[in-house]
Amino acid sequence: MITLDQINEAKTRIGRYATKTPLLRVAQLDDILGCKAWLKPENLQITGSFKLRGALNKLLSMTEEEKKYGVVCASSGNHGQAVAYAAKLLGIHAKVVMPVNANPVKIEGVQKYGGEIILHGKVSSERETKMREIETQEHRVSVHPFEDDYVKAGQGTAAVEILEDFPEMTCLVVPIGGGGLISGVSTAAKAMNPEIKVVGVEPTGAPRYGESRKAGRPISLDQVDTIADGTKTDKANPRNFPIIEKNVDYLVTVDDDQIRAAMKLLLTQAKLFVEPSGALGVAAAMCQKIPCTADDHVCFLLSGGNGDLGLLASIIVG
Higher-pLDDT residue of 216, 128: 216
Residue 237 vs residue 122, higher pLDDT: 237
User: What integer pLDDT is reported at residue 307 of this predicted model?
Assistant: 87
pLDDT of residue 60: 98
The pLDDT tens digits for 175-210 are 999 999 999 999 999 999 999 999 999 999 999 999
Question: Taking 80 as the threshold, does the pLDDT of residue 18 lie above it?
Answer: yes
Whether the Cβ atoms of residue 211 and residue 252 lie closer than 8 Å to each other? no
- Domains, the chain, in order of start with CATH, read 4-46+151-317 (3.40.50.1100), 52-142 (3.40.50.1100)
pLDDT at 34 over 80: yes
Q: What is the mean pLDDT of residues 112-121?
A: 95
Q: How confident is the model at residue 104 (pLDDT cuts 50, 70, 90)?
A: confident
Pick from 256, 290, 249: nearest CA to 276: 256
Give the confidence band of 105 by pLDDT, cuts at 50, 70, 90.
confident
Mean pLDDT throughout 15-30?
A: 98
Indicate the pLDDT class of residue 311, thresholds 50, 70 and 90: confident
Mean pLDDT score of the chain: 96
Q: What percent of the chain has pLDDT over 70?
A: 100
Predicted model pTM: 0.95
Q: For 51-86, write each residue's pLDDT tens digit.
A: 999 999 999 999 999 999 999 999 988 999 999 999
- In the predicted model, is pLDDT for residue 303 greater than 90? yes
Q: What pLDDT was estimated at residue 76?
A: 83
pLDDT given at position 80: 95
pLDDT score of 39 more than 90? yes
Confidence of residue 312 (pLDDT cuts 50, 70, 90): confident
Residue 233 and residue 209 in contact, taking contact as beta carbons nearer than 8 Å: no
Q: Does residue 318 surpass a pLDDT of 80? A: no
Task: Please report, for residues 6, 109, 316, the alpha-carbon distance to residue 158 in angstroms, rounded to integers and kept in the order given.
Answer: 13, 22, 30
Give the span between the Cα atoms of 66 and 43, in whole angstroms.
Answer: 30
pLDDT beyond 90 at 122: no
Q: Distance between CA 107 and CA 147 in Å, rounded?
A: 22
The per-residue pLDDT for 229 is: 87
CB 21 within 8 A of CB 40: yes
Asked if residues 215 and 191 have their Cβ atoms less than 8 Å apart, the reply is: no
Q: What is the side-by-side order of every strand in the sheet holding 297-302?
A: 24-25, 36-41, 297-302, 171-175, 197-203, 250-254
Separation of alpha carbons 236 and 119, rounded Å: 23
219 in Cβ contact with 193 (< 8 Å) = no
Distance, in Å, from the CA atom of 137 to the CA atom of 124, rounded to the nearest integer, reads: 20
226-274 pLDDT tens trace: 999 888 888 999 999 999 999 999 999 999 999 999 999 999 999 999 9
The alpha carbon torsion through 74, 120, 64, 5 (nearest 10 deg) reads: 10
Of residues 158 and 234, which shows the higher confidence score?
158
**First-to-last CA distance in the chain?**
44
CA-nearest of 148, 122, 123 to 135 is 148
